Amino acid sequence: MSDQTKYEGPKRVFSGIQPSGDMHLGNYLGAIKKFVDLQEDNECLYCIVDLHAITVWQDPKLLPEQTRHIAAAYLASGVDPSKAIVYNQSAVRAHTELAWYFNCVARVGWLNRMTQFKDKAGKNSEKMSVGLYDYPVLQAADILAFKATHVPVGEDQKQHLELSRDIAAKFNHDFNVPHFFPSPEPMIKGPGARVMSLRDGTAKMSKSDPSDNSRINLTDDADKIAKKIRKAKTDAGVIPESLKELEERPEVANLVSIYAALSGMTDEQVLTQYSGQGFGVFKPALADLTVEKMSPITDLMNRYLSDPEELNRILAKAADKAAEIADPIVSDVRKIIGFCGA
């Protein structure tokens, strides 16, 4: 494969979230919080990936509302549309076009290894849409249509990012354009990269978990947040002194990590503050902290959602800006492939 270290284009950040289901604390800590930090010093595109959402059935009447829901979550969390480009994927044609070219670069064997497809499809893979199988190729097109170099995501996206890098490298190699596409780097590390379910410390917090008590939604009010944390699964022990002692207690480790991510402390600092305390003390403290950090976001989100036309305008304006970046890149791809008239 070609040497990817010599890419000389600008640093550019791209990430996306699907408009399917409620946003939760895992999305906030694993993704959106990082988006806000990155927008200060980088050119950033934050996409609402509605084309990915339709890989499983979405009600056409609800999809626009769900799309605005994610837009409102981005903005309420501090993503600033004058600094970052916030738009929905289907409004920019470059995504679907480049995805087709990448379908002809990616190998079936590569997709067969994708664990997210296996998790989502379970025993029903024959009945899933072709789009769900092809999902990671579209994701590679999202990133590379902008020659994005950095991709802030939660840990669950690691494998998809590796595939994007493989596709970029194979395209550059096959067409002998050694540094055309960058090798996009995942930005995963940091607190909140993997927030687990409140009901099961071995499963990630997820939109698709049937139990609403497993997650804190960005739309939950203070009472609901406190109730969910009170009900969170723990054990009869107390908060231990060392991280080592948390290894066999995934639910407790998760609550400690959430506390750390929300407060800006390290896990160790949280243990130092609470070691020896029972959950009768720790859970109310965590509930207060979560409410303090999340309630302003929920309130602001509701304010944005009360003006859908304004959200539509913000998205449409940003889609034009996104197309201005992606269209020339995809046009170069057409020339590189050798289409007549390109």
| CA 244 to chain centroid | 29
**Out of 157, 214, 234, 254, which residue is the one contacting ligand AMP (CB under 6 A)?**
157
Beta strands 185-187 and 43-48 are: unpaired
Distance between CA atoms of 98 and 316, rounded to whole angstroms? 21
CA dihedral 160, 161, 162, 165 (to 10 degrees): 130
Nearest approach, Cβ of 327 to ligand TRP (angstroms)?
18
CB 125 within 8 A of CB 119: no
Tell me if 232 contacts ligand TRP by CB under 6 A. no
Distance between CA atoms of 149 and 110, rounded to whole angstroms? 22
Does residue 207 carry a catalytic annotation?
A: yes
Q: Could you tell me the two tokens for 274?
A: 């609470």
Instruction: Name residues whose C-beta falls within 8 Å of residue 73's C-beta, 6 or more positions apart in sequence.
Output: 23, 27, 28, 32, 218, 297, 301
Residues 11-50 as x/- pattern, contact with ligand AMP by CB under 6 A:
------xx-------xx--xx-------------------
Q: Which residues of 17-55 are buried (b: 16+ CB within 10 A; e: fewer)?
A: bbbbbbbbbbbbbbbbbbbbebbeeebbbbbbbbbbbbb
Tell me if 199 contacts ligand AMP by CB under 6 A. no
Tell me if 89 contacts ligand AMP by CB under 6 A. no
Nearer to ligand TRP, 92 or 287 (CB): 92
Distance between CA atoms of 265 and 255, rounded to whole angstroms? 13
Tell me if 142 contacts ligand TRP by CB under 6 A. yes
Q: Which of 33, 147, 204, 228 is catalytic?
A: 204
Does residue 189 carry a catalytic annotation?
A: no
Nearest approach, Cβ of 189 to ligand AMP (angstroms)?
12
Tell me if 139 contacts ligand TRP by CB under 6 A. yes
Tell me if 287 contacts ligand AMP by CB under 6 A. no
Residue 14 φ/ψ, nearest 5 degrees: -135, 140
Q: Which of residues 149-178 bind ligand TRP (CB under 6 A)?
A: 151, 153, 157, 160
Q: Which of 207, 224, 317, 321 is catalytic?
A: 207
Tell me if 325 contacts ligand AMP by CB under 6 A. no
Distance between CA atoms of 218 and 222, rounded to whole angstroms? 11
Tell me if 298 contacts ligand AMP by CB under 6 A. no
Does residue 61 carry a catalytic annotation?
A: no
Residues that bind ligand AMP (CB under 6 A): 17-18, 26-27, 30-31, 153-154, 156-157, 192-195, 204-207
Give the catalytic positions in this structure.
120, 204, 207
Residues that bind ligand TRP (CB under 6 A): 14-16, 18, 49, 52, 139, 142-143, 151, 153, 157, 160
